[in-house]
Amino acid sequence: MSECAAVGGPGCHSEKYRREAEMWNECAFAFQLTDEERVYLQAAGIGDVGVIRQSLEEVDNSHFNVNCVDYMGRNALHLAVDSENMDCIELLCDKLSFECIEEALLHAISKGLTKIVRTIIEHPNYMAGEDKIKRMDYNNAFFRTEEKSQFSPDITPLILSAHYNNHEIIQMFLARNHTIEKPHVITCLCEDCQIKQNYDSLKRSRSRLNAYRALASPAYMALSSPDPIMTTFELRQEMMKLAEVEKEF
């Protein structure tokens, strides 16, 4: 039996680290990752709790950023979601910024990882950040530029859950009083719509499409509407009218 074949064999992790290191070395210079950060992200990718814990003990080190990302913009928690290691996920949720936690949450939703989604949204750090956002104007998210995220700023956890039509995850967010706000009509002249149109008309159109795509989710309508059938007909009529004005519909 090879060393990797043995459960927990040290050679297995060593080989994984070697393969990961080869990939990282090609891109490390461009993203100016330190050796400590490369080891930290590699450990998150394979679920090595011991190395992650050791790395997090160096948060006061000027050469180590707990929120660092790889060449694809993935933070440690995002990588831990891929490895589906619950111990790593809980440990990283204790230390990472809310922005990193939220991005990893969206990634977990996109993969349909219900248990991980629940773990993240029930973590005190996420709940504190969520409460802070609720006290602020969430529309400010429209103006953010998330170059390192695979999700546009207007995508909320509930919207993404509805895009994937995931009943269980949608119910989690509805139970936490999340909602999907229906976009104003395209000709709306309110201050908010005018500012968004002038700021970035393409982003505004994309955010409208994302919202209506979520509103049209069968799972979302079934769980959020007292009369899903009537809601379906009303939304169909509304979108037929939208299609006459906005060709993207």
DSSP string, 166-211: -HHHHHHHHHTT---PPPPPTT--SHHHHHHHHH-HHHHHHHHHHH
Give the distance from CA 87 to its chain's centroid.
Answer: 19
Q: Which residues pair with 69 in a beta bridge?
A: 75
| Distance separating alpha carbons of residues 235 and 229, to the nearest angstrom | 10
Q: Write down the pTM of the prediction.
A: 0.80
Residue 44 near residue 67 (C-beta atoms within 8 A): no
Which residues contact residue 9 at a Cβ distance below 8 angstroms, ignoring those fewer than 6 apart? 2, 3
Instruction: Check if the beta carbon of residue 164 is closer than 8 Å to that of residue 220.
Output: no
For 156-195, how does the pLDDT look when each residue is reduced to its tens digit (9 = 90+)?
999 999 999 999 999 999 999 999 989 888 888 888 888 8
Please report which confidence band the pLDDT of residue 124 belongs to, taking 50, 70 and 90 as the band edges.
Answer: very high
Confidence bin at 146 (pLDDT 50/70/90): low
88 contacts 47 by C-beta, under 8 angstroms: yes
Q: Which string of DSSP letters, residue by residue, matches 39-94?
A: HHHHHHHHT-HHHHHHHHTTTT-TT--TT-B-TTS-BHHHHHHHHT-HHHHHHHHT
Q: Do 192 and 139 touch, CB atoms closer than 8 A?
A: yes
Query: Which of 17-26, 113-122, 139-148, 158-167 is predicted with the least confidence, judged by mean pLDDT?
Result: 17-26
Q: Bridge-partner residues for 75, per DSSP?
A: 69
Is residue 194 within 8 A of residue 222, CB to CB? The reply is: no
Q: Are 65 and 30 in contact (CB under 8 A)?
A: no
Convert the pLDDT of each residue in 23-64 to its tens digit. 444 433 335 888 899 999 999 999 999 999 999 887 667 778
Greater confidence (240 vs 10) lies with 240
Q: List own/partner pairs for 232-239 with CB under 8 A and 24 or more apart.
A: 239/212
Residue 231, CB half-sphere, CA atoms under 13 Å: how many? 16
